[in-house]
Amino acid sequence: MSGLAKDRDFYVAPPEPPPSRRPPITEVGPLGWMRANLFSSKVNSVATVITAALIVWFLWVFLSWTVRSAQWGVIYNNLRLLTSGLYDRREIWRMELTAGILVFLSGLGFGVWGRLPRSTFLVVLFVLAMLVVVPVIGAQVPQPTIYVLVEPQREPASFVFVGLKGQEVSFTFDPLTDLADAEERLVGFVENQSRTEWSTQAFKARAGEVDLSQYNLSVSMRLLDGDGKVVPPAPGSASGQFIADPAGGTLKYVLPADDWYVLEMRRDDSVNGGAGDNQGYAWLRIRGVEIFPSQEAAAQQRIEQYGPLPSVQRALLAEEAAYRFEGSRTFSEFISLQVRPFFSHIALPCLVGAALFFDAWVIGTLGKREKWVRRAALTGWILAAPVILILLRGFEGSRVLPLVPTSVWGGLLLTILLTVVGITASFPLGVLLALGRRSELPAIKWTCTLFIESVRGVPLITILFMAKQIVPFFATALSNMDLTVRMMVGVTLFSAAYLAENVRGGLQIIPHGQIEAARALGLNPLLTTTFIVLPQALRAVIPAIVGQFISLFKDTSLVAVVGLFELVGIVDRIVSGQAIYRPYQREAYIVIAIIYFVISYAMSDVSRRLEQSGAGSIRRL
């Protein structure tokens, strides 16, 4: 009976559901992390709020300045100098081929030895999308007004620009006849030579020192194409003659072809009794014309596309070298004036590089189980360094690869070269110095110790000056050695001394019992050090070693002091050697700071991944 009774028992659920066993949302996830780390106490909460407010304020100020006022043309107009320094322009194809080799080998390595991270795909897709979207958006934004000052002291210069078929342009003659003209805020490109003169006249007008009603400046204008033929104005615009008129006038044109165009201006001295009465100042406001970059490569490209510049006796080009943007840009103008030209410069190289990387990754992924593919990838990376050095330097007397001396290498190319050579050469030298300092042979031990302590006792700049000045003094045979090579040697020796101490710290953590066990198994000291001691010691000091490599990368900027123009040196040469770029030092140094940060962070990220992989201790399947 008891069994039947048990079979007849039924479970009746309670009227209310049981309480949830999930932790509160404020205890886990992002909110839980913020509560535990940012708002764990009153002091911590106050510090978090103050810090967040300062960060938001800084970002707002920085982004506002970036969009509204900053002039990034100093970067995209000097991309060649920033990347390759004074490298022969006719041989730039070597650098492009070098970049293609490295990109292809990187994609092949990702496919053969590691799974391509999803984030890499997202970054590539984002860059490709921006390369397509940003120029399209920028092309739809109207170009800002260009202001050219017309003054009685000199004959107006003819305005030369590049126009496209169907493009609408207008030229407005606006004389200074009203106090409102003097107080009007200029927004657009203002002729550099006009700024001081206009400021003086506007100040006199506001102070009542000039009688604006007596201004009677008059100018005649007409538009010519590249062949010197007159272009008729669009229907409904003013005539080609502007006489002293308080309202001024506007000429509108629809350009008939892709060509050079010249706005010819002449001061009309025949009006009101001659030149003595033709006095006053006026703005010529030009709308719809695009300011073209001053970069040498861009100028050569314009000549190839539109032919040589028109033969004009006195010309003012629509080139950014002659103008400066006044006022505050809108975000759309920022895209059109600052972002679009930059992407126009790098669009094709980025698309080609992305295609090379993707193709190599596909080859590596599909063939990673094939032995010959893995060997080809490894051989490619081993041979890359000498092949690239030969490709970039060339041979004396060669027609295919003429010699390009390292003295003209500069910019990012020289920075990367010094870093790669310094890291590659200092790592084995530093390991040998660390092992030598722990040697039981007094001669080797004290020699390594003396070298390490001597180099670590002086700053890097001293080593560089010694490599430049003192070494040739003691050894005349070295006086003809290339300065770049001497800097490589100095950077390598300096880094090796610090690296030796990092490695020595790792060697000291290896238990002596492991060495005794290796000897008991019959391993000699060389095999014990190579297969037992060094793998564990190096893995233990990966953060310190990579930190030294990052420091080496940043310290390459010191070679600018001894006459080499790496990334920092070439930027200083650009902003100090070209008057037009002197006001934009802030923009230039911000960009190279970002470059240094990105590369340093990438090296740090590789270090972290190397630690997580268990390199030197276990092999993960």
Torsion, CA 27, CA 31, CA 36, CA 37, rounded to 10: 160
Residue 85 Ramachandran class (φ > 0 left, ψ -120 to 50 alpha, else beta)? left
Give the integer Cα–Cα distance in Å for 306 and 101.
34
Q: Which residues of 71-107 are buried (b: 16+ CB within 10 A; e: fewer)?
A: bbbbbbbbbbbbbbbbbeeebeebbeebbebbbbbbb
Instruction: Look up the pTM and report it.
Output: 0.81
Strand partners, 249: 173
DSSP per-residue letters across 443-498: HHHHHHHHHHHHHHTS-HHHHHHIIIIIHHHH-GGGTTS-HHHHHHHHHHHHHHHH
Contact 505, 541 (CB under 8 A): yes
Pairing of strands 145-150, 188-191: parallel
Cα 398 vs. chain centroid, distance in angstroms? 33
> Whole-angstrom Cα distance, residue 108 to residue 115?
11
585: part of which helix (H) or strand (E)?
helix 585-612
Handedness of CA 37, 42, 44, 46 (dihedral sign): positive
d(CA 365, CA 373): 10
- Report the distance separating Cα 193 and Cα 113, nearest Å: 59
Q: What is the dihedral of CA 415, 418, 422, 423, to 10 degrees?
A: 40
Give how far the C-alpha of residue 318 lies from the chain's centroid of Cα atoms, to the nearest Å: 26
Looking at residue 247, its pLDDT comes to 57
Quote the radius of gyration of the chain (alpha carbons, Å).
Answer: 34
Query: Dihedral (C-alpha) 363, 366, 370, 375: value to the nearest 10 degrees?
Result: 30
The CA-based diameter of the chain, rounded to the nearest angstrom, is: 134
Q: Which residues contact 65 (CB under 8 A, 6 or more apart)?
A: none
pLDDT given for residue 48 in this prediction: 94
Give the list of residues 6+ apart from residue 114 with CB closer than 8 angstroms, or none: none
Q: Where are the beta strands (DSSP E) in 138-184?
A: 145-150, 158-163, 168-175
Helix axes 585-612, 542-555, angle to 10 degrees: 160
Provide the residue type at 169 as one letter: V
Cα separation, 549 vs 567, in Å, equals: 17
Nearest CA among 396, 343, 327 for reference residue 188: 327
Per-residue pLDDT of 56-108, as tens digits, reads 999 999 999 999 888 888 888 888 889 888 888 888 899 999 999 999 998 88
Query: What is the pLDDT at residue 555?
Result: 92
Q: For 88, how many CA atoms within 13 A lie in the half-sphere containing its CB? A: 13
Please give the Cα distance from 150 to 194 (Å, whole number).
Answer: 9
CB burial string 557-567: b at 16+ within 10 A, e below: bbbbebebbbb
- Alpha-carbon distance of 184 to 206, in angstroms, equals 11
Distances (CA, A) of 336 to 136, 172, 191, 329: 9, 23, 20, 10
Give the angle subtended at the CA of 515 by the CAs of 509 and 517, to the nearest 5°: 130
pLDDT of amino acid 323: 86
Q: Are 191 and 256 in contact (CB under 8 A)?
A: no
**Tokens at 206, concatenated:** 């506001």
Asked if residues 568 and 493 have their Cβ atoms less than 8 Å apart, the reply is no
- The torsion defined by the Cα of 401, 402, 408 and 410, in degrees rounded to 10, comes to -10
Angle at 578 between CA 572 and CA 582, to 5 degrees: 65
Q: Is the dihedral angle over the CA atoms 582, 587, 592, 593 positive or is it negative?
A: positive
* 167 phi and psi angles, rounded to 5 deg: -70, 135
Q: Which residues of the chain have pLDDT under 70?
A: 1-10, 20, 115-122, 153, 216, 236-247, 269-278, 473-479, 614-621
The C-alpha atoms of residue 229 and residue 264 are separated, in whole angstroms, by 12
Find tokens 């037992």 and name the residue. 532
411-437 vs 442-456: helix crossing angle, rounded to 10? 140
Q: Which residues are paired to 201 by β-bridges? A: none
Q: What is the pLDDT of residue 6?
A: 55
Helix or strand holding residue 264 (H, E):
strand 259-267
